[in-house]
């Protein structure tokens, strides 16, 4: 099939399909999908030649947008999922012809998908925003290590010639020290003692990938988008006039807009300079109270009712630390690489999301 690429240096991907940017887990509609078939690219995207990208966790909040992003530039996508029926609801390719480049594969077919892919992006893992029982804690760790280990083994077993040349692991940002490590300028004791260990093991699993595969470990902040992640939980509270800082409000909130994290992942697929640890957070982290003030302003709702620490612990269990104990993270490496953040300030990011 011929692909028409037209230069449009002022047209960026997200501008060209912005009405679709906040679509949720519901299947993409006919009208939304039509808008993905935009073959104009910016200078930024034009350099990427056609790729075949296998994505685990593609059905999730970040993965869905990444698939749209890849499709918009006419790359082939292989959705590696635990459930074909769930993935087919989200990417109804066969039935509607609107996701023609998306192939869906359950675990037994992952090997065939990975072989012949240009790159693999690993996003899978049990959600962390639920109440942490001891079983959930175990699952949070084991699901990530299990999928990463499987992906790494399948890449390593792939014969040369069909072995992917890039592996991206996208994960939370908790880790203080490692080779080529980016610094986190503030991290609570709890994170340092408990969650870092999970992340270290997780990254350690990814580091077992063959040395001829370029590995990018993208450590991300709290992703802001309308229909998923932290904001999806906060917006309804604010709309009921019950929004406010969680805990003291003084904890750091290292965030990134969904478009920026997807663009960063996308850039890392094709740009060989993106390797090792890269913090995926916006350049200007804020205190949580400031973030809540901006959210209240954007929604036209007050941010006046602080949620006390004990209430959060009652709802989220040990997982409350994710919101109660922040980390201040800056994207030094991404800046060094010249990554063009679209949203540098949380106020602008929230305005764009709510507009
Ligand atoms: N969203 C954020 O703000 C944020 C912040 C920091 C880090 N992260 C990390 O970035 C990654 C992607 O985030 P996300 O928000 O897109 O996640 P998500 O919406 O929760 O989606 C994750 C995907 O992982 C798969 N999955 C769920 N439970 C699993 C299990 N027990 N075993 C194997 N796979 C499982 C599911 O895909 P299938 O059902 O199709 O298999 C799911 O769609 C996650 O590892 C997350 O922890 C996210």
Atom of ligand 1 nearest to the CA of 59: 43
Centroid of ligand 1 to alpha carbon of 153 (angstroms): 20
Written as six digits, the tokens of 163 are 């072995």
Atom 12 (ligand 1) nearest CA = 123
CB 124 within 8 A of CB 145: no
- In whole angstroms, give the CA distance from residue 312 to residue 310: 5
Classify residue 211: in a domain, yes or no: yes
Residue 179 parent element (H or E): none
The neighbour count for residue 21, using CB atoms within 10 Å, is 21
- Tokens 């012949």 correspond to 116
Q: Which domain holds residue 189?
A: 6-221+257-284+330-342
For 257-283, how does the pLDDT look when each residue is reduced to its tens digit (9 = 90+)? 999 999 999 999 999 999 998 999 999
Domain assignment present for 133: yes
Cα–Cα distance, 186 to 339 (Å, whole number): 23
Return the ligand 1 atom nearest residue 223 CA.
Answer: 3
Classify residue 237: in a domain, yes or no: no
Residue 199's pLDDT band (boundaries 50, 70, 90)? confident
Give the pLDDT of residue 312.
67
pLDDT band at 227 (very low <50, low <70, confident <90, very high): confident
* Domains identified in the chain, total number: 1
The pair of three-digit structure tokens given for residue 346, joined into one six-digit string: 């949380």
Is residue 53, in this structure, part of any structural domain at all? Answer: yes
- Rounded CA-CA distance 221/216 in Å is 16
In the chain, the percentage of residues whose pLDDT exceeds 90 is 47
CA 229 to ligand 1: nearest atom: 1
- By CB neighbour count within 10 A (0-12 exposed, 13-18 middle, 19+ buried), where does 18 fall? middle
Using the predicted structure, report yes or no on whether residue 87 has a pLDDT greater than 70. Answer: yes
Cβ-proximal residues to 311 (8 Å cutoff; 6+ apart), any chain:
none
* Residue 91 in domain: yes
Residue 318 has pLDDT above 90, yes or no: no
Q: How many CB atoms neighbour CB 237 within 10 A?
A: 18
End-to-end CA distance of the chain: 37
Q: What is the CATH number of the domain that holds 77?
A: 3.40.50.720
Distance 301 CA to ligand 1 centre (A): 30
Q: Whose CA is nearest to atom 40 of ligand 1?
A: 81
- pLDDT range class, residue 182, cuts 50, 70, 90: low
| Band of residue 194 on the pLDDT scale cut at 50, 70, 90 | low
The yes-or-no verdict on residue 355 having pLDDT over 60 is yes
What residues line ligand 1, using a CB cutoff of 6 Å?
57, 59-63, 81-83, 86-87, 123-128, 139, 143, 147, 170-172, 220, 222-223, 228-230
Q: Would 152 be classed as within a structural domain?
A: yes
CA distance 116 to 129: 35
Grade residue 305 by pLDDT with cuts at 50, 70 and 90: confident
- Taking the C-alpha atoms of residue 214 and residue 165, their distance in angstroms, rounded to an integer, is 6
State how beta strands 214-220 and 102-105 pair.
Answer: unpaired
Q: Which neighbouring-strand residues pair with 40?
A: 6
How many whole angstroms separate alpha carbon 87 and alpha carbon 229?
19
Place of tokens 């916006």: 282
What is the spatial distance between Cα 25 and Cα 64, in angstroms, rounded to a whole number?
8
Residue 185 has pLDDT above 80, yes or no: no
Q: 77-108 b/e with 16+ CB inside 10 Å = b? A: bbbbbeeeeebbebbbbeeeebbebbbbbeee
The model's confidence at residue 94, banded by pLDDT at 50, 70 and 90, is low
Beta pairing class for 52-56 and 40-41: unpaired
Range 220-246 average pLDDT: 83
98 has pLDDT over 70: no
- CA–CA gap between residue 80 and residue 63 (Å, rounded): 11
Is 190 part of any domain?
yes
Of 23, 26, 58, 62, the one to substitute when testing ligand 1's pocket (max ligand atoms within 8 A of C-beta) is: 62
């Amino acid at each position: 099939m011929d692909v028409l690429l037209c230069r449009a240096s002022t047209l960026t991907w997200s501008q060209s399909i912005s009405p679709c940017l906040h679509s949720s887990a519901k299947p993409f509609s006919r009208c939304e999908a039509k808008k993905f078939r935009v073959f104009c690219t910016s200078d930024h995207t034009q350099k990427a030649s056609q790729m075949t990208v296998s994505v685990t966790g593609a059905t999730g909040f970040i993965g869905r947008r990444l698939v749209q992003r890849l499709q918009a530039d006419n790359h082939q996508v292989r959705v590696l999922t635990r459930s074909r029926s769930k993935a087919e609801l989200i990417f109804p390719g066969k039935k509607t012809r609107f996701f023609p480049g998306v192939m869906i594969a359950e675990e037994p077919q992952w090997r065939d998908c990975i072989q012949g892919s240009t790159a693999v992006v690993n996003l899978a893992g049990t959600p962390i925003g639920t109440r942490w029982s001891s079983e959930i804690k175990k699952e949070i760790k084991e699901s990530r290590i299990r999928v990463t280990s499987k992906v790494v083994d399948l890449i390593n077993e792939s014969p040369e010639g069909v072995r992917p040349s890039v592996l991206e692991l996208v994960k939370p940002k908790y880790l203080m020290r490692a080779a080529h490590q980016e610094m986190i300028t503030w991290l609570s004791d709890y994170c340092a003692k408990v969650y870092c260990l999970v992340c270290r093991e997780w990254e350690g699993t990814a580091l077992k990938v063959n040395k001829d595969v370029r590995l990018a470990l993208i450590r991300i902040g709290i992703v802001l988008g309308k229909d998923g992640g932290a904001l999806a939980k906060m917006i309804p509270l604010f709309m009921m006039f019950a929004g406010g800082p969680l805990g003291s409000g003084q904890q750091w909130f290292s965030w990134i807009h969904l478009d920026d994290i997807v663009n960063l992942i996308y850039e890392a697929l094709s740009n060989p300079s993106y390797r090792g640890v890269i913090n995926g957070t916006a350049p200007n982290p804020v205190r949580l109270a400031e973030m809540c003030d901006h959210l209240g302003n954007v929604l036209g709702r007050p941010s006046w009712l602080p949620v006390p620490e004990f209430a959060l612990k009652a709802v989220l269990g040990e997982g409350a630390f994710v919101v109660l104990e922040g980390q201040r993270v800056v994207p030094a490496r991404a800046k060094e690489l010249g990554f063009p953040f679209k949203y540098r300030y949380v106020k602008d990011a929230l305005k764009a999301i709510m507009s």
